Amino acid sequence: MVARKIVLVVAVVITIASFCRVFCVAKDHLAAPFDLTFESPNLCTIQSIQKGKNIYDPAMYKDLPFILTIYTPAYHYLVASLPQHLTNRFFTGRIVAMVFMILASLCLFFPYKPQEKIVFSILAIGCFFLIHEIISHTAFLRNDSMALFFSAAAVICAERARKKPGQIVLVSILACLAFTSKQSFLAAAASCFLYFLINHRKDALIFGLSCLLLFATFSIFAHLHWGNGFWFSVFVAPRSPFIWENFAANWLRMLHQPFFVFLLLLTTASVIHCPFLKKSKTATDSPYLAYFLLSSLILVITLGKEGGNVNYFFEPMLASLLWLVFLTKRRYTHARSSVVLIVIGLLGISVAFEFVVAKRSDYSFTTREKSVRIVARIEQAKNDVRTLQRGDHLKTLNLAWAGFAFEMQEDPIMNDLFLYSILWNTNVLSGKPLMKHIIAQYFDVIVLRKDQYQKRKLETPYDYLIGTVLTCYELAKTGHYCYCTPKHIS
């Protein structure tokens, strides 16, 4: 009884504290009228949809305007169909992402018996919003949270769908929606299939056939509607070499979070302990353990690629909490009070360290004061470019950073230089079309970072492209960036 009261107090305190933190960050993110970090590539896709363009047309990504969409498009089409903010083009996409992140967290109420031991679900939701990457990406224009919600919803529905064909079909629909939101979210479909296969093979057959039908239907629609460019954009362009240094760097970023370390150790201990539970099929009586293991496997495979980032941890972290909620609700009556108190004590210590050690910049891309400075810097950059304008319509090539795409012109050119540089350097795409435009001095202004303007060895196609800029354009002005205008070449 005492242990249960302590759990309740800890759950309420952690949840209130984490919600206050998320609220403050989301408020500042929603108000920011600029790209928080790498939101513009997705916004370019959304605006292309609003203009009625085929976002996977090779003409879009092989030549001007060089807009490449590397995700399945459900999120982008949803955001494009909604009313847009008059002064903040990022607002609607952030609101949609935030709603889906909240819905994904609410899935933690449903493992095992939702109406029982609800305190553990409340505690899990509070813990979910302690993780830095979850906080920073709650109000953030990105498709991950939409895919995360549909994946979690599929797994939850699968737990209750045994020998219920109608619900099994619903699970397959949710799994397919996760894939159409982001193509890497396949762990839910695989774990549901394994769960049905282990417990009732007829269920697995129904699920497998319905998934096959849905994925085939989507594939046929994609090919007919978007053409071959869809397959290149979604399955070829995102692939890049595995780099161990990147893999280690992303893990180190996560391991600096005290609560993440605690969650990792607790989940690992629960998985190791599971086979030793007497007279129990806890591991196979739900899809949650398989979901955690398969999503972790996808994380390990993809995290080290060039461009891989800590947002890849979203699904394994939610999956681990779903598994722990299920395990705790099911086994709590068999656990000793001393064990429960030890775990809660360690949780409390990790959370206390989290709030003492973490800085606002660890889990937020901006603050109200920082936003004011960024807006001023952007306005200065706009003024710098306007002074170099020749003619009525300014054609600007932004090679500085992706978040600058919409600041120079309404119809941006080059939505993601980092991605393009990878594709050029791996010979997946050719940089020659862009180089031809640079040589022809098509652009009025080319914006570079100061490190790009410095002399560099010409080793990669990307280096040669920057070298071409420095050959055909001259430095006209410097500020936060370098602004280059066409040279007068005889």
- Asked if residue 489 has pLDDT above 70, the reply is no
Residue that terminates a domain, selected from 304, 334, 363:
363
Considering its fold, how many domains does the chain have in total?
A: 2
Lowest mean pLDDT of 78-87, 267-276, 333-342, 389-398, name the range: 333-342
Average pLDDT (463-478) is: 92
For residue 342, what are the CA distances in angstroms to 7, 163, 236, 336, 337?
A: 11, 39, 48, 10, 9
Q: Name the phi and psi angles at 305, rounded to 5.
A: -70, 155
**Predicted pLDDT of residue 400:** 87
Distance CA 397, CA 407 (A): 11
Burial of 277 (C-beta count, 10 Å sphere; 0-12/13-18/19+): middle
* pLDDT value, residue 392: 66
**Phi, psi (5° rounding) for residue 445?**
-140, 140
Distance CA 436, CA 440 (A): 6
Same domain, 346 and 382: no
The pLDDT tens digits of the residues spanning 149-208 come to: 999 999 999 999 988 999 999 999 999 999 999 999 999 999 999 999 999 899 999 999
Q: With bands split at pLDDT 50, 70 and 90, how would you rate the model's confidence at 116?
A: confident
137 close to 101: Cβ distance less than 8 angstroms = yes
Same-domain pairing of 309 and 335: yes
Pairwise CA distance, residues 60 & 390, whole Å: 26
Residue 3 pLDDT greater than 80, yes or no = no
Are both 335 and 374 inside the same structural domain? no
Tell me what pLDDT residue 387 has.
82
376 shares a domain with 354: no
Euclidean distance between CA atoms 272 and 449, whole angstroms? 49
187-199 helix and 165-181 helix, angle to the nearest 10 degrees = 160
Strand partners, 478: 482
Length of the chain: 490
Structure tokens at 61: 């990504």
407-466 pLDDT, tens digit each = 777 788 989 999 999 999 999 999 999 999 999 999 999 999 888 887 667 889 999 999
Spatial separation of the C-alpha atoms in residues 296 and 254, rounded to whole Å? 14
Please check whether residues 92 and 207 belong to one and the same domain. Answer: yes
Task: Yes or no: say if 129 and 22 are a contact pair by the CB < 8 Å rule.
Answer: yes
> In this structure, are 184 and 168 located in the same domain?
yes
Maximum CA pair distance of the chain?
Answer: 88
- pLDDT for the residue numbered 450: 87
Domain around 93: 2-363
pLDDT at position 240 over 90: no
Give me 374's structure tokens: 């960024």
What per-residue confidence (pLDDT) applies to 402? 80
Q: Whole-structure pTM over 0.85, yes or no?
A: yes
Choose the most confident range, by mean pLDDT, from 137-141, 276-280, 478-482. Answer: 137-141
Residues 387 and 347 in one domain: no
What pLDDT digit, counting tens, does each position of 8-62 carry?
898 999 999 999 999 999 999 999 999 999 999 999 999 999 999 999 999 999 9
Q: Say yes or no: 336 and 451 in one domain.
A: no
CA 29, CA 292: separation in Å to the nearest integer? 30
Q: Domain ends where: 363, 388, 417?
A: 363
pLDDT at 490 over 60: no
Type of residue found at 475: L
